[in-house]
Structure 1
């Protein structure tokens, strides 16, 4: 019986590279010269901490971050921007969490989408991934192609094709 897993994984090395590119861009931009701007990556917590002098600079940092994520091949859907908060120095801070894994609701949507295809495959939810079993590899590939066309709110990767 053939199977594959549907997962949402983030390559932390590419995230780190994207953040370093963002920091380089901030250091070379004229409009950021002399202003306090921070972008720090906490890989253990899957969190990025942003600090900027004002709201417009925060938006510019967010746009640079998204652009550099796309350049590095990391889907920008993994970024979950928090709310802007003030700091004691008069700056703004924001935490950006990296969404990794497939939550229960999204997994249920994926399973429903697969069952609506009416193919001879069995999807099942396992922790933060969905495993799809089937007799024919062609059916599994058809499921992958269908899910690639759909927007599930998180980037999906298809692994462990057996």
Structure 2
């Protein structure tokens, strides 16, 4: 039975390159000279930490990082900027940006119910951090891909493992 997997996988090499470019730009920009503005990548490559002297400066550094990610072809919807800016002593602040990888259970259930209620002759099943969609015809699977691209706009889904 033909099937495909809907996954959420960022290109971690490009994320690392974008963070390195951002760190280089922050280090050389004139308006950041003499400040604590910097960008660091976490050990697994799934967290980016922004440092600065104020909320405004954190916003500028975040804009640089997002621009570099977009320029390197990494969708900015992978970035979860939900963490608040926190004080780390004196007048210094930091913010943690998480890189989303894998579909969480809430979104997986949403995708599964979307496919179920779409009246297409396909079935969706949650497989860990991905959703497998299977159907009898290739055309139905392509219609399911189009439906998911249209309806799930908040996640940059990729469709892999297409099997006949």
Provide TM-score, normalisation by structure 1: 0.93
Q: Are positions 1:37 and 2:37 aligned together?
A: yes
Shift of residue 104 of structure 1? 0.9
Matched positions, count: 162
Matched-pair contact (CA < 8 Å) for 1:3–1:161 = yes
Structure 1: gaps spanning 5 or more residues? none
Secondary structure of the equivalent of 2:39? strand
| Residue pairs, 1:48-63, within 5 angstroms | 48-63=48-63
- Please identify, of 19-28 and 104-113, the stretch whose mean Cα deviation from structure 2 is larger: 19-28
Quote the residue 1:157 is aligned against.
158
User: Given that residues 87 and 94 in structure 2 are in contact (C-alpha distance below 8 angstroms), is that contact kept between their aligned partners in structure 1?
Assistant: yes
C-alpha displacement of 1:45: 6.3
Q: Deviation at 1:103?
A: 0.8
CA distance in 1, matches of 2:146, 2:139: 10
Deviations 1:130-155 (Å, cap 9, x if unpaired)? 00011111110111112112235322
- Residue in 1 aligned with 2:89? 88
Structure 1 outlier segments of 4+, above 4 Å: none
The answer (yes or no) to whether the contact 2:12–2:45 under 8 Å persists in 1 is: no
Distance 2:43 2:149 in 1: 28
TM-score, normalization by structure 2: 0.92
